[in-house]
Each structure stands twice: as C-alpha cells, then as structure tokens.
Amino acid sequence: MNNFELMLAPMEGHTNPAFREICYEKGADSTFTEMARISALARGNKSTLEKIKIPNPIPTYIQIVGANEKELEKFLQKFTPEKGFLGFNLNLGCPSPDMIQRGLGCALIKRISKVKKMVQTIRNHNYPVSIKLRLGMNAFEKEKKTYLNLINEVDADFFIVHARHGKEKNKDPADFSVYEECVKTNKVIIANGDITTKEQIASLKSIGIKGAMIGRAAVKNPAIFEELSK
C-alpha cells in the first residue's frame, strides 16, 4: 500500500473491468470489483464468477459478501488469482434489508467471532484480506461503538470505514469525527464517504488515515483521483 492510497469503491452496476481501468488511468491506486456473493462463487455461478474477473492487470481487490466459511473454503480451493489481484475484501457495509435479514453486510459488524473465521479462512490460503464496514447496523450500534470493537478484535490488513451507519442514506452526511478513534486502534484505516476535496484528504492524512475510497464522485468524474492527488 502507498503512503496514502486512493481507491475506487466497489459499486454494483459500475465497477466493471472497463470502469476500473478508466479510474486507474485517471489516478486511482487500486480498484474494487462489484460485490460477489460467496454462496454463488462456491456454486460456480457463471455471472458471479464473471464479476470477479480481472481481464487486464489493473490493481484490483475482489469484494465478497457472506458468512459461511465452508462455502468460502469451497470457493478458495478452486480460485486462481489473475494478474492484478491484490486480495479479498469482506463486505460488512451493505445496508440492504435483504442482506441484513440474512445476517450479512452491516449485520455482520457485531458478529466478531464469525468475521474472524472468515478472515482466517482466507489467510489459510495466503491471500491478503481487508474489511469494509459501516459504523454499525443502526444508530444504537454506532453509539455502542460496534465498529470499533470489530476493528480492535479482527486481524485484517486494513479496514475501510464508511462513516455512516446502516440506516443512513447517501444524503445523510458522513461522520468524519469517528476517524481519530479508529486510527488509535493502530490498525490501517481507509476513509470512505463524501470525500471530494483536497482539503479533506489533507485533514485525513493529518490524523493518520492511510487512504481514501471514492465511489459516487468517481462515477460523476473519474478524473477526481488525479485532482485529489495533486
């Protein structure tokens, strides 16, 4: 990882190989695939396997979602990394009701022992593993600092902290005030949510954040990576 890494966020319907390549050419240090369900990968579902392909050697993390380590193991036994593959990213941020009902996405933030098992399963295959999480499933979990418990307890390569809880929408402002306490865990923290200016980047750097993940702003303007790195 660079001194301060600019990452393209995983976004369904957007972060296909062509868009990842555009953003990489426009200054993104690394990119993320669309979210892929572990259960579908384990079954060998063709359209899901297509999501995680890296046809061009663009620095890419594969984002996966699920909570069954046996399915994860089944998939990993067949997985062959392509050139450009940087590691796996576990989705603990998706706030969709369907995901939460299944105990996935941001419902996993409080299931620390389960997350540890998923991380260890990936580590057993010697692949890097990171986590993308929200501040909890709701305001109560945020207040109880569920996200901080997970960051402290889980041994991942880095943590991408989307500074909203699961009930908040994109129109709700991201809460940048949480980042200082995240950095104090001595884990590698990447900021995510409403990051659009060089002033924000400078502020994040000053408190020890190691990178920023850009999503919606990159869809509107892929050159934002170049603009933020100048």
C-alpha dihedral (213, 189, 168, 228), degrees to nearest 10: -30
- Bridge partners, residue 62, by sequence: 88
Helix (H) or strand (E) holding 48: helix 46-51
| Per-residue pLDDT in tens (0 to 9) along the chain, 230 residues | 668 999 999 999 999 999 999 999 999 999 999 999 999 999 999 999 999 999 999 999 999 999 999 999 999 999 999 999 999 999 999 999 999 999 999 999 999 999 999 999 999 999 999 999 999 999 999 999 999 999 999 999 999 999 999 999 999 999 999 999 999 999 999 999 999 999 999 999 999 999 999 999 999 999 999 999 98
Instruction: In whole angstroms, give the CA distance from residue 173 to residue 183.
Output: 20
Task: Give the distance, in angstroms, between the CA of residue 62 and the centroid of all CA atoms in the same chain.
Answer: 9
Nearest to 131 by CA among 104, 111, 160: 160
**Structural domains present in the chain:** 5-229 (3.20.20.70)
CA 34 → CA 46, 85, 88, 159, distances in Å? 14, 14, 12, 18
Q: What is the pTM of this model?
A: 0.97
